[in-house]
Amino acid sequence: MSSATLGQIIPCKAAVSWEAGKPLVIEQVEVAPPQAMEARIKIKYTSLCHTDLYFWEAKGQTPLFPRIFGHEAAGIVESIGEGVTNLQVGDHVLPVFTGECGECRHCKSEESNMCELLRINTDRGVMINDGKSRFSINGNPINHFVGTSTFSEYTVIHSGCLAKINPLAPLDKVCILSCGISTGLGATLNVAKPKKGSSVAIFGLGAVGLAAAEGARIAGASRIIGIDLNPKRFEEAKKFGITEFVNPMDHARPIQEVLTEMTNGGVDRSVECTGHIDAMISAFECVHDGWGVAVLVGVPNKDVVFKTKPINLLNERTLKGTFFGNYKPRTDIPSVVNMYMNKELELDKFITHRISFSEINKAFEYMLKGEGLRCIISMED
């Protein structure tokens, strides 16, 4: 990294979303230097995650445009602002949409990763330090997205949202650990915690669900049952340790009844990764009484209501929710990267497409068509 850019505005390319659902436009943007507790990052690789797509479509939330999306990425620290002690220029980092300030009650709790200061805020388009954007075009500010905005060659991020990782890790692979893959993996390993030889049902076989299956495989589950409405996903899912498949469309009765019958009373653990309320209820009702644990990962419409009979809980079933797989970004994500480096966790099978930054709209097309799992976008065209 050259010190020539230190404290200077950096002009660079960014993919700007000017309006909902319209193709992104590669623009020349100006990226301001980092302020207190911030770092400016040179993004090397980024990926498209469903959350970007959801807010780009702007169907169920406050639209905020123009905006630079992107939150699943890997990069290198170009410069740091005042007060940053956990990072140095040249460090390899994964930006994360949620943070770890290290000071609040959540950060000090061993049980929580939901930092009060840096928890995800999808409505905020500015930095928390001064309420301003670090991006501009001809002096006009461009909104940030979930504190990361990785669809830009350079971006400014709060230091509490940057996980410093092993510099030997290949950035074009571990970039996918900054969101979806860690979410699914942690939901199984940190929250469901299946025992060796147990049965696990995974609802939804997208990237997050397959990462949850990968967690079940690593934990040594003997039966991993995948539930999805799209039978095309079943073949791919075998690579992730899934042993059996159930398509709810093939059955006239509730899927929880089918699963209970298949497993002689219910699965030991279930992980729900679709965000559909019916799947959430099925995921809870299909676990075995006495010890079954269901974990909700998918994000539902905010108005839906979860309904089940209290006797299901009284019969010693547990219902849990999770946020980012219960990983604290700065403390825990480096060890997930090391799991990959030690060959415990496989990442290559999640990466189905690779494109250059100038082709970024292709990544949106792949996701809209449901093609592939993760598309890696190289910033160096």
User: What size, in residues, is the chain?
Assistant: 381
Q: Write down the catalytic residue from 27, 30, 57, 104.
A: 104
The residues near 335 (Cβ < 8 Å, ≥ 6 apart) are: none
Note the Cα 349 to chain centre separation in Å: 17
Active site residue 322: no
Distance CA 61, CA 10 (A): 32
Are residues 179 and 156 in contact, defined by beta-carbon separation less than 8 angstroms?
Answer: no
Of 5, 119, 346, 359, the catalytic one is 119
**Which has the closest alpha carbon to 99: 40, 150, 159, 48?**
159
Catalytic one among 161, 175, 179, 375?
179
- What is the phi-psi region of residue 331: left when phi exceeds 0, alpha when psi lies from -120 to 50, beta otherwise? alpha
Phi, psi of 287 (to 5 degrees): -85, 155
Interior angle at CA 208, CA 186 and CA 332, nearest 5? 30
Exposure string of 324-338, with b = 16+ CB inside 10 Å and e = fewer, is bbbbbbbebbbebbe
Q: Which of 46, 92, 106, 115 is catalytic?
A: 115
Q: What is the distance between the terminal CA atoms of the chain, rounded to a whole angstrom?
A: 19
Active site residue 104: yes
Mark whether 51 is an active-site residue. Answer: yes
d(CA 267, CA 290): 11
Element (H, E) at 341: helix 329-341
Q: Give me the catalytic one of 38, 40, 67, 71.
A: 71
- Based on the residue annotation, tell me whether 374 is a catalytic residue of this protein: yes
Out of 50, 124, 223, 354, the active site residue is 50
Query: 313: helix, coil or strand?
Result: helix
Active-site residue identified among 101, 175, 273, 286: 101
> Is 179 designated active site?
yes
Beta-ladder partners of 254: none
Determine how many CB atoms are found less than 10 A away from the CB of residue 108.
10
Active site residue 107: yes
161 belongs to the catalytic site: no
Q: What is the DSSP letter of 97?
A: S
Backbone angles phi, psi at 78, to 5 degrees: -90, -40
Question: Looking at the DSSP assignment, which residues form a beta bridge with residue 158?
Answer: 38
Determine which one of 40, 100, 107, 155 is catalytic: 107
Of the residues 12, 49, 273, 375, only one is catalytic, namely 49
Q: For residue 329, give every residue at least 6 positions away whose Cβ sits within 8 Å of its Cβ, in sequence order, or none.
A: 96, 98, 99, 100, 113, 160, 161, 162, 163
* Annotation says 144 is catalytic: no
Chain centroid offset of residue 233 CA: 20
Say whether 82 is catalytic: no
The active-site residue, picked from 67, 158, 217, 374, is 374
Known catalytic residues are 49-51, 71-72, 101, 104, 107, 115, 119, 179, 374
